[in-house]
Structure 1
Amino acid sequence: MSDLSHSPSLMPGQLLARGVSRALRGHDFVSVEELVPTSGLRVDVMALGPKGEIWIIECKSSRADFQSDSKWQGYLEWCDRFFWAVDSNFPTELLPEETGLILADAYDAEIIRMGPETKLAPARRKVMVQKFARHAAVRAQAARDPGFVTAF
């Protein structure tokens, strides 16, 4: 995988998110970044699969970044599968074995370990798909008309 320094305007976690999103397209998933499933939580990447599957991927660029994350378990109730995305230098032994693992860089990623599947209840899935769609639409509109759309 490539060095993360090729895109200096993006933070390391954003570069990992970009590589993850690119790789997930190869699995027929679409993704959005920085989605808020509920007040107080903001996921790095939420991916929506071809059968409505919802995955959350948290990108960690360092040991300190991972150790300072005290909210990750709160994400589990908002997805069917949960993953960590880290680069090849990250000490993966720190990551809980009962979660998914993706090795990533700014350009690509590889699923190393699938997160266990815990299917969302239909009502929760409907809410999350709607949030995903609205988030994606606001981002698309902001890209077309950056001075008009306010933050989501």
Structure 2
Amino acid sequence: MLKGRLAEQEDDPVLCPDGRQSPAAAALQRGVCRTLRTLGHSVITELTLAGGRRADVVGLSPSGDIWIVEIKSCLADFQADAKWADYYDHCDRLYFAVAPDFPHEVIPEETGLILADRFGAEVMREPDEFRLTAARRKAMTLCFARTAALRLQRALDPFCGE
């Protein structure tokens, strides 16, 4: 169903490196990240925001726009979560990413809708835009950059800073 799916990828496993996600959520996250990269975004997953909330996927566009994508692997996951409204303070656009068989009608109209699988994703509905203030944009961009740099350094030299 989704664009860019290659037949030889069917045997490609989906890993859950942090142990916090279900395989279904990890698959959706992977597809979303792949698609955001094709749109030119830099992407980081599991970004801790001010206040302690953790965004599933954050995309930083070439123009500096910040998108947050909240992954919902099933209806129960969506119904049990009220924290997503807090993300408006940290992004210009807020999306939900769900599997194609997820009941789309429960996703709030003001948020974007992305259909995803482990190979890619498609933006089905654009969200209302909530432009960040200059101070909040700077704080989010610094958080994104520092987290990405620290993760890269940890991957290159796991014992650095111990």
Deviations 1:12-51 (A, max 9, x none): 2122111111101121111100001112310000100011
Unaligned runs of 5+ in 1: none
5 Å-filtered alignment, 1:79-98, equals 79-98=91-110
State the alpha-carbon separation in 2 of the partners of residues 126 and 4 from structure 1. Answer: 40
Q: Does 1:106 align with 2:118?
A: yes
Q: 1:97 to 1:149 in 2, by over 3 A?
A: farther
- RMSD value, Cα: 2.0
Larger Rg: 2
Cα drift, residue 5 of structure 1: 8.5
Q: 1:113 to 1:16 in 2, by over 3 A?
A: same
Matched-pair identity in %:
45
- Which residue is equivalent to 2:20? none
State the alpha-carbon separation in 1 of the partners of residues 86 and 10 from structure 2. Answer: 28
Whether the 8 Å contact between 2:15 and 2:26 is mirrored in structure 1 is no
Unaligned runs of 5+ in 2: 17-22
Q: 1:95 to 1:33 in 2, by over 3 A?
A: same
- Which residue is equivalent to 1:17? 29
Q: Which amino acid aligns with 1:7?
A: P
- Which residue is equivalent to 2:90? 78
- Equivalent residue of 2:59, what SS? strand
Q: Does 1:54 align with 2:60?
A: no
Scaled by the length of structure 1, the TM-score of the pair is 0.90
State the alpha-carbon separation in 1 of the partners of residues 126 and 134 from structure 2. Answer: 22
Q: Does 1:66 align with 2:101?
A: no
5 Å-filtered alignment, 1:27-38, equals 27-38=39-50
- Which residue is equivalent to 2:134? 122
Deviations 1:107-148 (A, max 9, x none): 101100011111100010000000000111111122222344
- Equivalent residue of 1:120, what SS? coil
- Which residue is equivalent to 2:154? 142
- Equivalent residue of 2:129, what SS? coil
Deviations 1:30-78 (A, max 9, x none): 1100001112310000100011000000000000111111100000111
